[in-house]
Structure 1
Amino acid sequence: MDLTDAFVLHRRPYRENSALVQFFSWRYGKVSAVARITKDSRGLLQPFMPLRLCFKGRGGLKNASQVESDSLAIPLFGDALYSGFYLNELLYYLLSDEEPVPVIYTAYQQALVSLATAQMSLAAVLRPFELTLLTQLGYGIPNGQSIEDDRHYQFVSGEGFIVSEASPQSIYGADLKRLEHLERADPVLLQQAKRLFRQLIDELLGGRVLRSRELLVQHHLSKRQS
């Protein structure tokens, strides 16, 4: 396999002087690989570090080699750090192995940079990324259906968006269409997007609880108590 840009999504020890790493790469998508831990690579195999590397092997578990980086890790702190872990968990659990998704890779990289610069609210960074991810996974908004501006809609598993009565779980048709342009969204629409995307993502997760969500809640509680 050719050299590719990549990030580490998850890492755990694997045999002596090695780690089992889930990489997210521009060229190959999510790849499971064994990486040898050396004096040079130890500091590179960390989340949010832009990498260049090569995968070798024909089976499902590859070997990562030629691991290098010409930049520092993208600096994330506080809420931005937990948000970065949230993005990593979404990719780790929702992407299929070795399926290239360059659109998602670009959105992920841009989201990390936006989190680091803190020039936008967390919602303004996370919601567009979630939309890109959901769209690429086949959960596009409004899912190819005819949406009328003045009607309310609710997402139903297996059916998509159906007409419904106004309720806390419904979204106005005009707002549903506006979700395609979240980079210019107001806080109210971003909150609606959060509720809707949470429902779609939870369905894809199949009941799995994201550790990053729990950590963020604990982080907020500790700040209030301090």
Structure 2
Amino acid sequence: MATMKRGYVLHHRPFRESSVIVNLLIEGVGRVDAITRVGTGKRSIKSILQPFQPLIVQFSAQSEAKSLGLKNITQIESAAPAMPLTGNSLYSGFYLNELLVRLLSVEHQAEGLFIEYHRALMSLAKGFCSSHLRYFEMALLLELGAFPSLNYDTLGNALDPDCYYRFIPQSGFLPVVQSRESNLLHGKGCLTGAMLLALASQNLQIDQLNQAKGLMRYLLTPLLGNKPLLSRQLFAKNAQ
């Protein structure tokens, strides 16, 4: 007998008259795309098929769903109240969902991402800070094999909090020569060792957030391609 697993809805869309196709993130499994009947009246599950609603889900492999490359949801229930996300935290949650739908394929199971996602939502529910986004982006990039080492630089030396680095694709972080008189320290693609080490330990400080954001944007861009993220546009529109 199939067991119930914890999960979250990332996105859903209509499928035929009374069903929807749901993209889910499932604990111990990863991304799962499935079909479920929505139902009507008191039996309707529309109210729980929403983002940021903790769920417990059971699947089967019925012939119709399997022929479409999908699972079939046989049982789905609310596991807890929905995460109370509002304002920037809500837009951030949509951003995380869009990243997962865009970058995580069904073939890539990504078992550990459920805990990272759940932790990010809980942190955002307590209050918005962009550091929560950076930590989840790092976990996702690590899962996809697209995040450089935060232990050693390109020369094989441990990262130095007092050094400055330039990111070299396919190689990692290259230490750069710098001096107090040089403007090289003030941008120009340079990252502080202190920020990189704080990112690794998930202890970013306020003055390090912009650097971390720039690094993540740079790393995510090749994976996302030219199609813009709708959640970023929503965030920018409501920030004005």
The two structures have a TM-score, normalised by structure 1, of: 0.87
What is the aligned-residue identity percentage? 39
Distance in 2 between residues matched to 1:76 and 1:34, nearest whole Å: 26
Of stretches 125-134 and 194-203 in structure 1, the one that deviates more from structure 2 is 125-134
For residue 200 of structure 2, what is the amino acid of its counterpart?
Answer: E
How many residues of Structure 1 are paired with residues of Structure 2 in the alignment? 218
Note the aligned Cα RMSD (angstroms): 2.1
Distance in 2 between residues matched to 1:211 and 1:187, nearest whole Å: 26
Deviation track 1:66-104 (CA, whole Å, cap 9, x = no partner) reads 111132211111111100000101111111215433322
- Segments of structure 1 that go 5 or more residues without pairing to the other structure are 222-226
Query: Is the Cα contact below 8 Å between 1:29 and 1:98 reproduced in 2?
Result: no
- Residue 86 of structure 1 corresponds to 95
Over alpha carbons, which structure has the higher Rg?
2
For residue 188 of structure 2, what is the amino acid of its counterpart?
Answer: P
Of stretches 150-159 and 77-86 in structure 1, the one that deviates more from structure 2 is 150-159
Of stretches 211-220 and 56-65 in structure 1, the one that deviates more from structure 2 is 56-65
Cα 1:90–1:55 shift into 2, 3 Å:
same
Cα 1:161–1:203 shift into 2, 3 Å:
farther
- Residue 169 of structure 1 corresponds to 189
- Residue 168 of structure 2 corresponds to 156
- Residue 180 of structure 2 corresponds to none
Of stretches 145-154 and 34-43 in structure 1, the one that deviates more from structure 2 is 145-154
Residue from 190, 204, 208 that aligns with 1:189: 208
- Check if 1:124 corresponds to 2:125: no
> How does 1:16-165 map onto structure 2 within 5 Å?
16-38=17-39, 39-57=43-61, 58=66, 60-118=69-127, 121-138=128-145, 139-142=147-150, 145=153, 146=156, 147-149=158-160, 151-164=163-176
- Segments of structure 2 that go 5 or more residues without pairing to the other structure are 178-183
Query: Is the Cα contact below 8 Å between 2:9 and 2:25 reproduced in 1?
Result: yes
Give 1:140 deviation, angstroms.
4.0
- Residue 237 of structure 2 corresponds to 218
Deviation track 1:40-86 (CA, whole Å, cap 9, x = no partner) reads 31111110111111122155211112111132211111111100000
Q: Secondary structure at the match of 1:161?
A: strand
Of stretches 130-139 and 4-13 in structure 1, the one that deviates more from structure 2 is 130-139
For residue 188 of structure 1, what is the amino acid of its counterpart?
Answer: D
Query: Is the Cα contact below 8 Å between 2:159 and 2:197 reproduced in 1?
Result: no
Q: Secondary structure at the match of 1:122?
A: coil
Query: Is the Cα contact below 8 Å between 1:6 and 1:24 reproduced in 2?
Result: yes
Give 1:6 deviation, angstroms.
0.7
For residue 104 of structure 1, what is the amino acid of its counterpart?
Answer: L
Give 1:116 deviation, angstroms.
1.2
Cα 1:71–1:171 shift into 2, 3 Å:
same
Q: Secondary structure at the match of 2:227?
A: coil
For residue 105 of structure 1, what is the amino acid of its counterpart?
Answer: F
